[in-house]
Amino acid sequence: MQNKIKLRGNLAVIIMQNFEKYLNPIYKDIEEISNFKDLIPDTELSKEEYPNLIKVTNITKSKLLILLNNLKRLEEQLERQIEEIDAETDSDEKKAARAVYNKILTEIEIIVGRINNELVTFDSPYFGKILFTPYDTKRDIKIYIGKFALIDKETQIPLITDWRSPIANIYYQNTGPQVDVSFQAPIGIRRGDLKQKRQFQISRARIQGIYDAKSGNVAADEFLLSQLEHRIGKKLQDIVSTIQTQQNEIIREEINHPVVIQGVAGSGKTTILLHRLAYLFYTYPKLINESNSLIIASNQMFIDYVSDVLPNLGVRKGEIMTYLFWAKKVLGWGDFFTISLEKESLPIKKLKGSKQFIDILNRYYEQFEKKILENLPTSLSDKISLRYYQLKEEFKDIDMVERISLAIEYAYAQGRFSKYKQGEIRINTEEIEGKKAKVLAYVRKETDIYQLYKNLFKTKLVNDEISTYSLQGLKHNGRIRTLRIEDLAPIVYLHFKVYGTKLSERQYIMIDEAQDMSLIQLFTLSQIAKNGNITIAGDLAQSIIPPFYLESWDEVFEILDLNSKNKYTYHQLQKCYRTTEEIVNFGNKIFKEHFPKSYQLPEAVLRHGEKVSIFEFNQDFINIQNSDLKKVINTIKDYFNKGSITCAILARNKEHAKKIFAFLKPYEKDIGREIIDFSENNYKTGLLILPIDLAKGLEFDSIIIADVNSNYYSNDTLSLKLLYVGITRALHRLCIITKKNDKFSEKFSN
């Protein structure tokens, strides 16, 4: 028995270890960080600011110790509960014990989240300070701004103000001291003078830098440039300390209308989306719930890349997934529905993502609707049909299946009433219910979405070529059903037509990298955005995944107008904060002639770095030898020695990436870093080798683009856009590997 209990106790330890791995590692250093005994401020400004920082750190430490003690207490309770579950023999008692166990797990999850929030405050409690003098009181108000608010329990005075609060807007909307500024307070608009905007770099409760901002050009912002220059790390980080004025305006847009963002590479589209979501949860807690939000991302590696941002902002329950995963979830399709790996037809694929195909689906649905009502297995089909169309006219939000069900109930109830009026007292209720069940069974069979979509290609609404191709992809093999990837969104569209959107509705939806989504994908997502609560971000210059990519936002605006009662707002971001001026200018020089005249090229924030390196070899990358290979290996080593944590070699496609990985893997010891294959789907430190399309939305400290030559790239728009995406992934350093005497090497040398 003792061994058994010990085993169960070990289980509790394992569970707690799994929770603790999500804790910020600095929780182990609380005592060390909070010890200011030997601290000597090195400047007058830091001497002025440290008393407040020490006070905040000590308060946060006290809160942390209480929370960590609570976590320990819950751990002990969990261990006892595991033992109780193990000891119970009565099924009801065991069930009750398990309910308590699950409750404890929920409490642990909540407290781990609270601890992490406090650890963020403990490590870097605030990043900004404003001195604001309201006109109504004429008394200076000193406000420190951080990720999370902190209240002094003794005085009830705010020591730190949350970055999402209304008064923090003054910090973001002004580059420095300014007369007559305002913010929207609960009591109305308050006006006054901003006398000081101070910015801090704080880590492990120590001031690393203090900057007094001056009004003027954002490009000359010393604090911003410092943050960008030192931006080295594994994953995407929050930008609460450096949110710029235009970014702030988008983040703080009101709810209940669509928002569209066209942003150049490195303009902060992704971070804006994530910060906007955090802002909305804070500002509208009764209207938007974390667990009922949805973020659509391009691929699993991108999801891993952004996975730390929302938790760092205190958001832990928002769902983030690809369109494929979301669509299968909506349809309730598990492992029995698979995507066909057969060669695809790009023209047909493009059609199935277009407005033209939406029109085809609408015509098909109308035909199907009429047919199913005409063929109902009952003599009451005319009455059911009449009532169905009455309901359709009066209650537009009711879905097709619900309308049919209500119409059936109405028709049979009306029939029973007629019999009563005719004097029939004995009515066979069982017989009537049987007839209704038969009709409903027919409806269920006919509204099987997979078969319904398959039947579309047996009509004359699409030509024979498209029908033949589609039916080859829509196959049954036992329980396994196969479909092509481009069929998924149209199937979801039909599903919403038949079953409605109520069960799939989300309080807020964010879509990133929208330029590579089809119109019908965006349409289905906008259908489930409650009150038009959807933000869509993309860059038309980075449309690289044929054939779905958007060529303009106009059709997107049309579908938003169809699915939302309120007008959309549109924002265009031009400043690139990611990369250096040298890299931005390099990309612009090469591609400016190939972008539409309406497209505005990125504007680099005035941050300088190394010149772009161009390597010209006689062979393709996997065939280089001796001095050329040594040159590449030394370059990679040099990048890491200069502080790079993440480095990537970008290939033309997956096959190309696999070849480069196989070629370089034996030289892992020479490079001194792990070489990682893209199929791991993790954004890891080391040297990652991946195709350019999977690098979309990501960024790396250093980038090498391999084989930029005529063997892999053409002088067409798609190839040039791919290269543009690759170039703009680099934070600090970029190297292009091309071939001697190739048209691309000539392009780079000009």
pLDDT band at 7 (very low <50, low <70, confident <90, very high): very low
pLDDT per position as a tens digit, 130-168: 999 999 999 999 999 999 999 988 888 899 999 999 999
Rounded-to-integer distance, Cα 380 and Cα 415, Å: 9
pLDDT per position as a tens digit, 345-357: 999 999 999 999 9
pLDDT at 429 (0 to 100):
74
Helix (H, G, I), strand (E, B) or coil at 403: helix
The residue type found at 609 is: G
pLDDT band at 421 (very low <50, low <70, confident <90, very high): low
Contacts of 437 (CB under 8 A, 6+ apart): none
Q: State phi, psi for 84 to the nearest 5 degrees.
A: -65, -40
pLDDT per position as a tens digit, 559-592: 999 999 999 999 999 999 989 999 999 988 878 7
Rounded-to-integer distance, Cα 97 and Cα 85, Å: 6
pLDDT at 3 (0 to 100):
38
Q: What percent of the chain has pLDDT over 70?
A: 94
pLDDT at 602 (0 to 100):
87
Half-sphere exposure of 437 (CA within 13 A, CB side): 6
Half-sphere exposure of 611 (CA within 13 A, CB side): 5
Rounded-to-integer distance, Cα 256 and Cα 566, Å: 7
For the chain, the distance separating the N- and C-terminal CA atoms, rounded to the nearest angstrom, is 80
Rounded-to-integer distance, Cα 369 and Cα 158, Å: 61
pLDDT per position as a tens digit, 298-336: 988 888 888 888 888 888 878 999 999 999 999 999 888
pLDDT band at 219 (very low <50, low <70, confident <90, very high): very low
Q: State phi, psi for 542 to the nearest 5 degrees.
A: -110, 25
Beta carbons within 10 angstroms of residue 373's beta carbon: 19
pLDDT band at 428 (very low <50, low <70, confident <90, very high): low
pLDDT band at 113 (very low <50, low <70, confident <90, very high): confident
Q: State phi, psi for 734 to the nearest 5 degrees.
A: -140, 135
Distance of CA 615 to the CA centre of its chain: 36
pLDDT band at 424 (very low <50, low <70, confident <90, very high): low
**What is the reported pTM?**
0.89
pLDDT band at 5 (very low <50, low <70, confident <90, very high): very low
Average pLDDT score over the chain: 89
pLDDT at 45 (0 to 100):
93
Rounded-to-integer distance, Cα 435 and Cα 412, Å: 9
In order of 533, 688, 695, 716, the CA distances from 657 in angstroms are 39, 10, 12, 21
pLDDT of residue 26 exceeding 80, the answer is: yes
The residue type found at 399 is: D
pLDDT of residue 427 exceeding 60, the answer is: no
pLDDT per position as a tens digit, 641-682: 999 999 999 999 999 999 999 999 999 999 999 999 998 888
Rounded-to-integer distance, Cα 418 and Cα 424, Å: 9
Greater model confidence, 360 or 26 = 360
pLDDT band at 4 (very low <50, low <70, confident <90, very high): very low
pLDDT band at 418 (very low <50, low <70, confident <90, very high): low
User: Which whole number is the average pLDDT over 338-351?
Assistant: 91
Residues 422-428: contacts with CB under 8 Å, at least 24 apart? none
pLDDT band at 22 (very low <50, low <70, confident <90, very high): confident
pLDDT of residue 173 exceeding 80, the answer is: yes
pLDDT per position as a tens digit, 56-92: 999 999 999 999 999 999 988 988 888 888 888 788 8
